Amino acid sequence: MRIKFIKWYNMLLTTIISMLGFGSCNNNDGSEDIPCEYGCPITEFKIGGTVTDTKGTPLEGIQVSVVMQPSPDVTDPPSLQTTTTLADGTFMTGKMDVTSLTEVSTKVKVKFDDIDGTANGGQFDSKTVSVAELKRKQTKNADGKWYQGEYEYSGDISLSPLSE
């Protein structure tokens, strides 16, 4: 009998809580009719550019890693995406997404590492650049709701020869 009562009580509570959740999703406050949405805002972005040495020669085989600095105490953040420069020194990441454009410009960094030794004409120092330092171009408009658009960041990066 007690188990039957507990099951009935749990079903009743589940139903009431579900109804309250859906009932709270309305706009009966006289404002425009904006549909309620669940989830997080999303901003999509790609990063591209050219990597050269200090003389302007394109560098092939440079590893380009996009990292997000989650908090100041994390010294080695995980990579969002990694790619390598082509023979003409160019690179382009795939599409990534974050919750806001502010998050891209304040937390996303791009790391450049020479991983092939002297195969590209020498060894070069690593370099890290904030996405805020790159040129930004909007490639898709926002929808006025959760989707905040798509952006492409680009820049020309020059790497110095490895310091001895």
Kindly report, residue by residue over 7-64, the tens digit of the pLDDT. 888 888 888 777 666 555 555 555 555 555 566 788 899 999 999 999 999 999 999 9
Residue 5 lies in a domain: no
Say if CB 109 and CB 101 are below 8 A apart.
no
Residue 21 lies in a domain: no
Query: Whose CA is closest to 138, among 160, 128, 153?
Result: 153
Alpha carbon 145 to its chain's center = 19
One-letter amino acid for residue 102 of the chain: T
CATH number for the domain harbouring residue 112:
2.60.130.10
| Residue 30 Rama label (left phi>0; alpha psi -120 to 50; beta) | left
Say if CB 97 and CB 40 are below 8 A apart.
no
Residue 63 lies in a domain: yes
Question: Which pLDDT tens digit goes with each residue over 1-15?
Answer: 778 888 888 888 888
Residue 24 lies in a domain: no
Residue 78 lies in a domain: yes
Domain extent for 92:
42-159
pLDDT for residue 131 is more than 80: yes
Number of folded domains that form the chain: 1
Residue 89 lies in a domain: yes
Cα 121 to Cα 118: distance, rounded to the nearest angstrom: 5
Residue 34 lies in a domain: no
Query: Whose CA is closest to 155, among 61, 92, 83?
Result: 92
Question: Which pLDDT tens digit goes with each residue over 74-97?
Answer: 666 667 899 999 999 999 999 988
